[in-house]
Amino acid sequence: MQFKNFNTYLTFYDMVKTGPYPDDLEEKEVYSCKVEKYDNSIKDRQVLTTNGKTQGFTFIMRDAQRQFIPKYQHTIKVKDYRFETQLFNIYDIRFDKPKAGYITVVVAENE
């Protein structure tokens, strides 16, 4: 892994309840970092298909140790003009993959 390949900037959000109704949710920024985005492997596609998703992507991020641990309830925004209006949900998290100190995450568009 070379840091120069980490060229996609994204932000993790937690949805915080702001009122008495189920739709009263607000995005709270939790963590931002640079990641390496790559094409889905067969395993990644299988994870997405199992969850009823046809499109998504996979990224590798550095493990921030205790500062931040990604969770399935987090949503993600990608800082890229092609994805600027989309939110993504996390469908798979693999710690210490492809090697120790990195996390692989599979995401698909939020509906």
Determine which helix (DSSP H) or strand (DSSP E) holds 106, and give its type and residue range.
strand 102-109
Query: pTM value?
Result: 0.86
CATH for 3-109?
2.40.10.270
Band of residue 3 on the pLDDT scale cut at 50, 70, 90: low
Per residue in 98-111, pLDDT tens?
Answer: 889 999 999 999 87
Q: Residue 35 pLDDT > 90, yes or no?
A: yes
Distance CA 26, CA 66 (A): 25
pLDDT at 32: 96
Q: Which sign does the torsion angle of CA 100, 11, 57, 47 carry?
A: positive
Instruction: Count Cα atoms within 13 angstroms, Cβ side, for 68.
Output: 17
pLDDT digits (tens, 9 = 90+) for 43-100: 999 998 899 988 889 999 999 988 999 999 999 999 988 888 899 999 999 999 888 9
Domain boundaries, the chain: 3-109
Spatial distance between the Cα atoms of 50 and 42, rounded to a whole number of angstroms: 12
